[in-house]
Structure 1
Amino acid sequence: MDFRYLGNSGLKISEITYGNWLTHGSQVENDVATQCVHAALDVGITSFDTADVYANTKAETVLGEALKGQRREGLEIFTKVYWPTGPGGPNDSGLSRKHIMESINGSLQRLQTDYVDLYQAHRYDTETPLEETMQAFADVVRAGKALYIGVSEWTAEQIRAGHALSRDLGFQLVSSQPQYSMLWRVIEDEVVPTCAELGISQIVWSPIAQGALTGKYLPGQPPPEGSRATDAAGGADMISRWLDDEVLTRVQDLRPIADGLGLSMAQLAIAWVLQNDNVAAALVGASRPEQVHDNVKAAGVRIPADAMAQIDQAIGSVVQSDAGLTAANAPTKRPT
């Protein structure tokens, strides 16, 4: 495993970070989830990402149980706050001081730890003054409940404003967690340059585009049984936008590139996001331990410049790169 600094902090995280969105507490039985976490530990992954909203807090509980007994100092545990949890009352979502303070306490209890290494604003809250949000995060850090603060799916302008306030309050934003893959590159024109300037790293989610970049989905054919595209619990909705025949045809054009580099299609996709110098880690989930063992082989891979050019040519016009899509996909008010 290779490790990278998170932003301009002194914290190093594993460049393959284990994430339990869409799996723990919902799609995967708890014993299998624990096996996946232990497989991640066995291959050198030390960084684990979750959120209070995943499976309505169950994912945090599963991760906390799976990590029980591990040396806490040897782990980096990340979680997030914003989306609704609990019964969905008027203050059960957002980034108000009340919700942040109550949420961090709940997360620590479920994760069975005294602190998280990284606490992230899961979205931007348009209904709470940014000053209130950043002051609450500052107090969470001063209380020792979180060591570092990050954001997820914020625009470049929002990141810049949050960074300025954090500096005034005596701490600093160190990370951004956006969607990023060969197919979804909307952060490249604005978010990445802004973060590079401010000393903020990306921890990217969905580097294999919900599985579409594995190559197992073929144009004109039904999805394989047991795949995410057949999961009525939510997985099918997430991957559906990538199951267009033109996209899937382009993805198949990546296969000879992966073969030439001695990589699986998934490994190529993960290695691709890690070529971006502003990316500190790629979030990778798993529903089976063997997936962890396969994906981790992308660590430390350097894709030659000619192969990177071939990837761009293969993907072609199906790439989503409009920087405005970050704002367009963001909630305009707190969800309930």
Structure 2
Amino acid sequence: MTAPKLGFFDSSSDPIHPSPCPETCLRTTTMSDTHPTYETKGMLFRRLGPSGLRVPLFSLGGWLTLGGSVIGDPVKEIIKTAFENGINMFDTAEDYEKGNSEREMGRAIKELNLRRTDLVISTKIFWGPRDGPNDKGLSRKHIIEGTQESLARLQLTYVDVIFAHRCDITVPMEEIVRAFNYVIEKGWARFNLAFYWGTSEWTAQQIEEAHHVATKLNLIAPIAEQCKHNMLYRERPEKEYASLYKKYGLGTTAFSALAAGMLTGKYNDGIPEGSRFATVEMFKSRAATLASAEGLAEIAKVKEITKIAHSLDSTPTALALAWVAKNPNTSTVILGASSPQQLLENLKALEVLPKMTDEVMEQIEKVLDNKPEPHPTYGRPELDRFGRA
């Protein structure tokens, strides 16, 4: 009988009701113990919020692609390419393709024989793949059972970070905070299910409330927020969360850095066949706005951003990704890729990042003309979270 690898479930056992002996999850396997060597390959790293966890500046996400438009061996090739180019953080969610993103990601990681301790894996809980009354939301029941089922699909015994995919206003915040603390502190069979927890698309007020409850109960607060952030969407990550960065050291794991492809320039002259705006239902309403005055204004901005990118011997894609990465509150930028080639193109953002001088940033700001106004201080000096001016 073979024992599972460190950090991986034995698929022949019941992962929802594991053996009472957690040591079985820690023994090495008869599978080859020769793991691919992880090398940073020039990747930059930042702490995830105030925690000690170091994450790559660019990570790989599974939304729409892994387990959706990409299935089977191509998933493995994308993850292999990411790993070989310094990306060791992979993000998914229980609702991505009704759990299939987690399945495909877990299968690929296992078949590639990647060392679990080399990886940072995150998933998100809110929309379970089934439709029962307790299969959605952030009840204690769904947070704990949803995490267990995510781990089963991933074939892992733990994830590094578990995110609340949205805030559930129908559940008391104390229940939410206590449940995520249970996941990261106790789990099952004396084996924790995650190391850290965070939020995704929560308002600043909701994150503040979670911190207040955690402080009152001497519990662990969320360390990161997974939010949309790009050149065309700035208000929430740059203004609404501003006080959270200063007060709690909150970090962001930014998604949609390319604004669903808008910032690549692919929609400058219409909607190409096979593109997301043409094929994905949720983007069709967005596609309909491209001919509006607002849409045409955005396209004009993208064309100017493209000129700046070319002046830096780069692409609008790389420049847009680097722009989000340059923000000091960004812990990691989540990349999406449907092929290894697309992933490598995205990683050219690392090459343009050193070229983004103050002068270049000013040029970009003049084009965008959408920087959120900071909250007024009425002449009072701002203080950091340590009370320093």
TM-score when normalising by structure 1: 0.90
Q: Where in structure 2 are the equivalents of 1:57-68 lying within 5 Å? A: 57-68=99-110
Does structure 2 retain, via aligned residues, the 8 Å contact 1:156–1:191?
yes
Correspondence for 2:314:
263
Q: Where in structure 2 are the equivalents of 1:254-293 lying within 5 Å? A: 254-293=305-344
Whose relative contact order is higher, 1 or 2, with alpha carbons under 8 Å and at least 6 apart? 1
Which residue of 3, 22, 25 maps to 2:64?
A: 22
CA distance in 1, matches of 2:367, 2:300: 9
- SS of the residue corresponding to residue 78 of structure 1 reads strand
CA distance in 2, matches of 1:257, 1:224: 24
Per-residue deviation, 1:33 = 2.1
Q: How many residues align?
A: 318
Per-residue deviation, 1:235 = 5.0
1:80 matched to 2:134? no
1:141 matched to 2:184? yes
Per-residue deviation, 1:246 = 1.9
Per-residue deviation, 1:5 = 0.4
CA distance in 2, matches of 1:241, 1:114: 44
CA distance in 2, matches of 1:46, 1:76: 6
- SS of the residue corresponding to residue 195 of structure 2 reads strand
- Which 4+ runs in 1 deviate beyond 4 A? 233-243, 319-323
Q: Where in structure 2 are the equivalents of 1:47-66 lying within 5 Å? A: 47-66=89-108
Residue 240 and residue 71 in structure 1: after superposition, are their counterparts in 2 closer, same or farther (change >3 A)? farther
- 49-58 vs 259-268, greater mean Cα deviation: 259-268
Correspondence for 1:205:
255
Q: After superposition, what is the alpha-carbon deviation per residue over 1:170-218, rounded to whole angstroms, capped at 9, x for unaligned?
A: 3231100110000000221121331332121011110010110001211
Does structure 1 retain, via aligned residues, the 8 Å contact 2:238–2:372?
yes
Correspondence for 1:298:
349
1:42 matched to 2:87? no
Correspondence for 1:155:
203
In the alignment, structure 2 segments of 5+ residues that lack a partner are 1-42, 187-191, 375-389
Does structure 2 retain, via aligned residues, the 8 Å contact 1:135–1:169?
no
- 207-216 vs 21-30, greater mean Cα deviation: 21-30
Higher Rg: 2
Does structure 2 retain, via aligned residues, the 8 Å contact 1:36–1:292?
yes
Which residue of 97, 101, 108 maps to 2:151?
A: 108
CA distance in 2, matches of 1:196, 1:214: 32
CA distance in 1, matches of 2:204, 2:95: 24
Which residue of 358, 362, 365 maps to 1:309?
A: 362
Q: After superposition, what is the alpha-carbon deviation per residue over 1:217-250, rounded to whole angstroms, capped at 9, x for unaligned?
A: 11xx332222222214545456665672221121
Does structure 2 retain, via aligned residues, the 8 Å contact 1:196–1:278?
no
CA distance in 1, matches of 2:290, 2:181: 39
TM-score when normalising by structure 2: 0.78
CA distance in 1, matches of 2:289, 2:339: 24
- SS of the residue corresponding to residue 67 of structure 1 reads helix
Identity of aligned residues (%): 37
The one-letter code of the counterpart of 1:78 is: S
Per-residue deviation, 1:31 = 2.3
Residue 277 and residue 320 in structure 1: after superposition, are their counterparts in 2 closer, same or farther (change >3 A)? closer
Does structure 2 retain, via aligned residues, the 8 Å contact 1:192–1:278?
no
CA distance in 2, matches of 1:222, 1:90: 42
Correspondence for 1:8:
50
Does structure 2 retain, via aligned residues, the 8 Å contact 1:271–1:299?
yes
